[in-house]
Amino acid sequence: MNPTSAVSVAFDPLLPWSILIALGAAGLVLVLLGLRARARGLLWRFLGIVVVLAALANPALIEEQRKPIADVALVVTDDSDSMTIGERRIQGQAAKEALKKKLGQQEGLEIREATLPPSHIQLGSERPGGTRLIETMRSALVEVPPERLAGVVLLTDGQVHDVPAGLPPELGGAPVHALIAGKKGERDRLIVIEQSPRFGVVGRQVTTKFRIEDPAGGSAPVTLSVGGEVVRRLDVPVGRSVELPITVGNPGANIVELEVAPGQNELTLDNNRAIFTINGVRDRLRVLLVSGEPYQGERAWRNLLKSDPAVDLVHFTILRTPQKDDFTPVRELSLIVFPMRELFEQKLKEFDLIIFDRYESGNLITRDYFRNIAEYVKGGGALLVSVGPVFATQRSLYRTPLGTTCWRPASSPRSPRSASAIPSPPTCRRPATPARSRNGAAGSAWSPRAPTTATRCWRVRKASRWSSSIASAKAVWRS
C-alpha cells in the first residue's frame, strides 16, 4: 500500500468565530451603505475588511503524508466436540485454508484468526456449556477498531448456543458470514437443560426444566435416573419445555441423569443425555450425643448444640455401666434402659452427626452396633469422638470396628511413631513387683496409685468369686 499526500487549509482564529462573524456582518453593512451613497474607494475598503478578517482567522496551509491502514477480516473456527463427527473438522480446515488463500490476494486486508477449543466441563461446574462461538468472536474483536473491521467469517457446524437477540456492538455494522460443515440431510436428537436446581431439602421435591430438540418432531421417550437408579419414564413432546419434579433422596450430592431414546439415523448419542447434580440439605440437623459418664462438660455440649434452633439433639448419658456392680437389684433402680437397638440399628441413618463423649468401649454398645456405625460413616455419616487418655488404653474406641474406618492403622508407613500410642493386648498375670502399703511394707494388695491392668483383672476375678460366695450363702439361708 503506497503512501499518499494531501494539502488542506486549517484555521486557528485569534478571536472566537462568533466575534469574527459579527465583525464580518458589520463590515458588509458598511460596504452596502457606501455603495448606496456611491462613495469612492469602496472596493479598497471591502478588500481591507476581508484582509483583516482573514488575518484574524489565522489560516494555515497543511500538507499531509497519509499511509492507509489495512482492514481486518476475522476468521473464527469452531473446534468444539461436535466438529469431530464425521468429516466436519477436515472440511472446516480445508475451508479455512481456501478462505485464507482467497483473502490474502486482496490488497489492504489483514487476516486474523480465533479458535474455539473443545470444552472440558466437569460435572457440577458453574461454567456454561455448549458451543460459545459468539463469545469467542467478541473476545477477538476487542482488539480490532470497529472502523477497521471488514467482516467476520464463522467456520462451524451450525450448533451455536450463545447467539444473541441482536448484533453485537463490537461488529460496528460489519457483515458476518457462516460456512457450515457437514452434509445435507443430517439429523440429530438433543436434550437441553433449561433450568436445574443446585440445592434441595432432603425428602422434598425440586423442579427441573428441559426440552427435546429433533428436526423430525413428534414425541420422544425420556428416562429419569437419580443415583444410577431409574426413577421415572415419560414421553415428552419435541420442541416444548417440560417441567419435571425430582425428589431429593439423600443429603449430599444427588446425581441426576436425563436420557432421551435415540432416534433414526442420528449423528451421535453423546448429546442424548444430560447430567447435573443436586446437593441435598436437611431442614434440621439431627445430632446424637452419647456421654460415657456424667460430668460438668456435658452442660457445655448441650449449650453449644442447643444454641442453634436448627439442631435437633438427642442426648443419652450412661449413669450405670456393667462394671459398676454394687449388688443393687435392677428392679430397685430408677434408670432408663439404653435403647441401643433403636438408636444404632433402626434409626441410625436418621442422624446427621453422632458424638461419643468420654465413651469407653465395653460399656454397653456391642461390636455389632459399632459395625453399624462404621457402615454409617462409610455411607457419608459424620462421627465425632471426644476422648482423653482413655483413647490410649485397652478400652479405646480404636479397638472397636470403628478403628479401621475412622482412624489410620498404627502400622501405616507414613506414621511409624503412632504404633506406640496403641497398647498391646491385656494380660491377667499378677505384677512381678508387689505393691507397697501405706507403711511401706511389701506384700500388701492395697496401693494408693491407680491399679495396673493386671491388678484390675485380678480384682475383677476376686470380686466375682466373692459375689458367687454371697449368692450361695443366701441360697443356704433361704433353704
pLDDT digits (tens, 9 = 90+) for 56-68: 888 888 888 878 8
Express each pLDDT in 234-292 by its tens digit.
999 998 999 999 999 887 889 999 999 888 877 778 788 899 999 888 778 889 998 88
Other Cβ atoms closer than 10 A to 168 = 14
Order of strands, sheet of 149-156, starting from the edge strand that comes earlier in the sequence: 109-116, 71-78, 149-156, 176-180
In CATH terms, the superfamily for domain 190-281 is Immunoglobulins (2.60.40.10)
> Partners of 274 in the beta sheet?
258
Most confident of 46-55, 205-214, 329-338: 205-214
Give domain 285-421's CATH number out of 1.10.8, 3.40.50, 1.10.3470, 1.10.287.
3.40.50
Give me the residue spans of the domains in the chain: 4-66, 71-180, 190-281, 285-421
Band (pLDDT 50/70/90 cuts) for residue 307 is: confident
**Size of the chain, expressed as the number of residues it contains:** 479
Query: Cell numbers 448429546 label which residue?
Result: 271
pLDDT at 210: 93
Q: Which CATH architecture has domain 71-180?
A: 3-Layer(aba) Sandwich (3.40)
Three-class secondary structure of residue 328 per DSSP = coil
Express each pLDDT in 7-23 by its tens digit.
888 888 888 888 988 98
Cα 346 from Cα 331, distance rounded (Å): 27
Cα 391 from Cα 399, distance rounded (Å): 9
Residue % of the chain over a pLDDT of 90 = 15
Three-class secondary structure of residue 332 per DSSP = helix
Higher-pLDDT residue of 368, 119: 368
Show the cell assigned to 140: 477477538
Other Cβ atoms closer than 10 A to 76 = 25
Read off φ and ψ for residue 5, nearest 5 degrees: -115, 150
Same CATH fold, 285-421 and 190-281?
no
Nearest partner of 115 among 153, 161, 77, judged by Cα: 77
pLDDT at 268: 77
Cα 399 from Cα 53, distance rounded (Å): 109
Cα 116 from Cα 134, distance rounded (Å): 10
**For residue 19, what are the CA distances in angstroms to 24, 25, 30, 57?**
9, 10, 17, 11
The arithmetic mean of pLDDT across residues 180-204, rounded, is 85
Kind and range of the H or E element at 224? strand 219-226
Other Cβ atoms closer than 10 A to 8 = 9
209-213, 321-325, 437-441, range with the lowest pLDDT = 437-441
Show the cell assigned to 187: 439429523
The pLDDT of residue 423 is above 60 = no
65-79, 171-185, 201-215, 427-441, range with the lowest pLDDT = 427-441
**8 Å CB contact between 356 and 386:** yes
